[in-house]
Amino acid sequence: RKEVEQDPGPFNVPEGATVAFNCTYSNSASQSFFWYRQDCRKEPKLLMSVYSSGNEDGRFTAQLNRASQYISLLIRDSKLSDSATYLCVVLNAGNMLTFGGGTRLMVKP
Amino acid sequence: EAQVTQNPRYLITVTGKKLTVTCSQNMNHEYMSWYRQDPGLGLRQIYYSMNVEVTDKGDVPEGYKVSRKEKRNFPLILESPSPNQTSLYFCASSAPSRAQYFGPGTRLLVL
């Protein structure tokens, strides 16, 4: 079993739609959680950290469920520019980041 | 501007010819790391460094070397590159237990 698992997609959605991604992690001692966005052939960029109480940044909402060991990302009112691969990332002891395989999102006009 | 820089951005080389990919960050981060990204395999960590003169192996260290003589620099060395090291390489840095910031990537082709 992979340490961080994501549905690879692609998720094809129309502009304006709401889309949600889930991610599960296997290490119950994981300390911090993040969502990164990666555009084709570019570097991953931090989208948002994920806090236990849930957090929102504009159209993006992240949730963490430690008991079930999953993380979610909700994108409301999707824009064409949201098309990218979204990486679920878990930080373990020793500053070790473990990446999910990514979920590809394609927003269509 | 806070950033992580890598050079070169693109490199074509031949098997066995030693090469170095440089990485530099201007954020005074203690932690630096190298990753490679391959289709279907995602991002995999090669080596990391918790601070100056402290380095350790990641998931796929074979065929690579690193050094951390200064806080800002973390070069990746391929002593004898082979075709299976053809990949997209990213350097990253962070403060302890914080999100990592990535360089723009180095695309390497080993013939």
Is pLDDT of B29 > 70?
yes
Cα A94 to Cα A2: distance, rounded to the nearest angstrom:
19
Q: Are B86 and B35 in contact (CB under 8 A)?
A: no
Question: What letter represents residue A84's amino acid?
Answer: A
Q: Does residue B109 belong to the interface with chain A, where contact is any CB pair within 8 Å?
A: no
pLDDT of residue A1: 63
* Residue B42 to residue A99, Cβ atoms within 8 A: yes
pLDDT band at B2 (very low <50, low <70, confident <90, very high): confident
pLDDT < 70: residue spans in chain A: 1
Residue owning tokens 């460094």? B49
pLDDT of residue B1: 81
Q: Are A101 and A6 in contact (CB under 8 A)?
A: yes
Cα A109 to Cα A24: distance, rounded to the nearest angstrom:
30
Question: What letter represents residue B41's amino acid?
Answer: L
Q: Are B23 and B47 in contact (CB under 8 A)?
A: no
Tell me the pLDDT tens digit for each residue of B54-103.
Answer: 999 999 999 999 999 999 999 999 999 999 999 999 999 999 888 899 99
Q: Are A99 and A92 in contact (CB under 8 A)?
A: no
CA atoms within 13 A on the CB side of B43: 31
CA dihedral for B24, B27, B33, B37, sign (positive or negative)? negative
* Residue A42 to residue B104, Cβ atoms within 8 A: yes
pLDDT of residue B15: 97
Cα A78 to Cα A90: distance, rounded to the nearest angstrom:
25
Look at residues B33, B20, B7 and name the one whose alpha carbon lies nearest to residue B80.
B20
Helix, strand, coil in percent for chain A, rounding step 5: 5, 55, 40
- Choose, out of B100, B106, B107, B109, the residue to mutate when testing the contact with A (most A CBs < 10 Å): B100
Question: What letter represents residue A71's amino acid?
Answer: I
* Out of B31, B96, B102, closest to residue A44 by CB: B102
Q: Are A88 and A49 in contact (CB under 8 A)?
A: no
Averaged pLDDT for residues B32-57: 93
Cis-peptide, bond into residue B83, ω within 30° of zero: no
pLDDT of residue A96: 81
* Residue B97 to residue A95, Cβ atoms within 8 A: yes
And the tokens for B7?
């050079």
Contacts of A95 in chain B (CB under 8 A): 31, 48, 50, 94, 96-97
Buried b (16+ CB within 10 A) or exposed e, B3-17: ebebeeeebebeeee
Q: Does residue B97 belong to the interface with chain A, where contact is any CB pair within 8 Å?
A: yes
* Residue B97 to residue A32, Cβ atoms within 8 A: yes
Look at residues A49, A53, A73, A46 and name the one whose alpha carbon lies nearest to residue A61.
A73
Give the whole-number percent of chain B exceeding pLDDT 90. Answer: 89
Is pLDDT of B36 > 70?
yes
